[in-house]
Structure 1
Amino acid sequence: MLNLADLLLKAGGPVLPLGRHIPFAVQKLAIEQAMKRLFAEPLNDGEFDVLEGRWLRIEVSDLGMAWCLTRDAVGLRLARSAPVDVCIRGNWKEFLLLASRQEDPDTLFFRRRLVIEGDTDLGLAVKNLVDSLDPELMPPRLWQLISWLGAAAREQEQVAPAQPARG
């Protein structure tokens, strides 16, 4: 019998790709505001300075969505397109496993479930940065939700292994 987390993950397949129909201006506003709140402390500590003047593209292949991210004087900034230095690409469940710490980042990259293209030194620096961020910086309920869904995704994965990211 499926539990609620399994149902939400199954619903993600057909529902999440609809996010690409949300106007980029709305995505940008929501994501920048979320990053400003979630990453205020690491930003102040200079942890994101590795992105200053550099552009990271995050592609969620199975959703058909991508964002370009940089660090400027104001903070983290999103763009629809930019002269990208590095791209990290994968499917949404791989990013969920990464965010929920259910899968080691090195394992995801080694198995090519997440792919780094371009400036690999910058990509590895970003990977290490993400891995070093303290989940306690998130609102507790958000971290609980991400952890809960990530654990369910990990359990599903053990039954049916994920496919590598396509590009």
Structure 2
Amino acid sequence: MSQGFSIPRFKLPALVASLGTRLPQWPHSLALATGLNAAARIGLLPDDSLALLEGRSFLVEVLDAGGQARFTYRDGLFRPLWKAPKSPETPDLSFSANLSAFLQLLARQEDPDTLFFSRELSIVGDTELGLVIKNMLDAVELPQLPSLAAFRS
């Protein structure tokens, strides 16, 4: 990360999770599926790895925010899953962590292994599928954004 900025470990107040669990969860599923489809469309996610996700279901839980996103990959698209009869009760793979751990992962400040072994990230389900996801995340080359110093006059 540029400029030495790092995302600190934090935990949102319990009130946030209490309120978050009472809110509809479908917007999270829709937003995550949309973002993943955009990443796939611009080539950030490798096609060979995506093919291995076909028909699999996933759950991402942000524990301290009380949010959940359920989705699947089918026919070349990430699709949100609603809590409905067609939605699997137990996903093939689930990830649970506090918001700070997910932000650190996205910012590449921490890798999934470190977060997992420090018990900040819980991964439950198909081990082989988990390795596919980990390798896919490792292969993603995020575009470099200009540093904040470039915007200062």
Tell me if TM exceeds 0.5. Answer: yes
Deviation at 1:45, TM superposition (A): 2.4
Q: Which amino acid is the alignment partner of residue 114 of structure 1? A: L
Matched, 1:130 2:132: no
Give the corresponding residue for 1:35.
Answer: 36
**Residues 43-52 or 86-95, more deviating:** 43-52
Deviation at 1:107, TM superposition (A): 0.9
1:76-155 equivalence runs, <5 A? 76-81=78-83, 82-83=87-88, 84-136=91-143, 140=145
Deviation at 1:39, TM superposition (A): 2.3
Matched, 1:46 2:10: no
Give the corresponding residue for 1:57.
Answer: 59
The one of 68, 71, 74 equivalent to 1:72 is: 74
Structure scoring higher RCO (CA < 8 A, sep ≥ 6) equals 2
Instruction: State the distance in 2 between where 1:116 and 1:25 align.
Output: 21
Q: Which amino acid is the alignment partner of residue 49 of structure 1? A: A
Identify the structure with the greater helix proportion. 1
Question: Where in structure 1 are there 5+ consecutive unaligned residues?
Answer: 146-167
Residue deviations 1:91-149 (CA, integer Å, cap 9, x gap):
1100111110101221111112111112122122212212221112x8x47xx79xxxx
Instruction: State the distance in 2 between where 1:44 and 1:106 align.
Output: 20
**Would you say the 8 A contact 2:45–2:140 is kept in 1?**
no
Q: Which amino acid is the alignment partner of residue 35 of structure 2? A: A
SS at match of 1:58: strand
Instruction: State the distance in 1 between where 2:76 and 2:129 align.
Output: 21
**Would you say the 8 A contact 1:94–1:108 is kept in 2?**
yes
**Would you say the 8 A contact 1:42–1:48 is kept in 2?**
no
Q: Which amino acid is the alignment partner of residue 77 of structure 1? A: R
Give the corresponding residue for 2:12.
Answer: 13
**Would you say the 8 A contact 2:64–2:98 is kept in 1?**
yes
Residue deviations 1:2-39 (CA, integer Å, cap 9, x gap):
xxx89xx98x9359756656644443443333222222
Cα distance change on mapping 1:127 and 1:63 into 2, 3 Å: same
Deviation at 1:44, TM superposition (A): 7.0
Q: Percent identity?
A: 35
